[in-house]
Amino acid sequence: MARLVYIPTIAENNVRGGFLGHDNCVKLRNELPEEIRPLFVVGYHIGARLGELLDLRWDKADIKNKEGRALPVYGEMKRGS
């Protein structure tokens, strides 16, 4: 007979709050220097962290599990928007 082991959970206190709504996103984007706006827009729309965005390179596009990750490109993320 298998023996079950009880593992207590630890209370979490790192719940995130203060999400950026669309109106405030537009205000913030407009205050940013022109050269970093695309990075901000993509990060906002796909939910990527800054480190993930800065680490994106074509030579690192190798996929370990042979399955792609689809990311939508829409709105401001389109070229010329």
Give per-residue pLDDT as tens, 29-54. Answer: 999 999 999 899 988 888 888 888 88
Burial (0-12, 13-18, 19+ Cβ within 10 Å), 39:
middle
How many other C-beta atoms are found inside a 10 Å radius of the C-beta of residue 77? 15
Range of the domain at 49: 21-57+72-81
> What average pLDDT does this structure show over 11-34?
87
Q: Decide if 31 is inside a domain.
A: yes
Q: Which two tokens stand for residue 63?
A: 């996929």
Between CA 77 and CA 37 the distance in angstroms is 10
Q: What is the pLDDT of residue 46?
A: 84
Q: Decide if 65 is inside a domain.
A: no
Hey, what amino acid is at 19? Answer: F
Least confident among 21-25, 30-34, 42-46, 71-75 = 71-75
Q: Decide if 11 is inside a domain.
A: no
Q: Decide if 9 is inside a domain.
A: no
Provide the number of structural domains found in the chain: 1
Indicate the pTM of the whole model: 0.61
Q: Decide if 2 is inside a domain.
A: no
